[in-house]
Structure 1
Amino acid sequence: MRFRDAPLDKAVGQLVAHLREFRPEIVVTRDAHGGLTEWYIRHDPVSTAAAQTELIAGT
């Protein structure tokens, strides 16, 4: 299943797993020009929820 077609909870879970593995210092959810692409419109709620999940988990 493609990321954009995945249910929100599954997409968030997959991104949380990546955040835990790679432990980035920042997460950017917009393109280099601040534009709203089709990918961004799907990615923003997923990345926001994943980042919040990691903050709550304290990892």
Structure 2
Amino acid sequence: MKSNVGGIDKIARIVVGIALIVWTFFGGPVWAWIGVLPLATGLLGWCPAYTLLGIKTCPIKK
């Protein structure tokens, strides 16, 4: 499992994921728990959808 999420993309996923989860604690809708997905992909640095689509936002390592 190689990293395919990098830099700004990773930070954005973590921030959005945390924001959605916190929203649920303050009366947000149940669907906001979907924030677990961007949080997990941001922390792991790997996105299964990016793999399927052939997208890579992390710098190429040689």
Do they fold alike, i.e. is TM over 0.5? no
Larger radius of gyration: 2
With structure 1 as the length reference, what TM-score do the two structures score?
A: 0.31
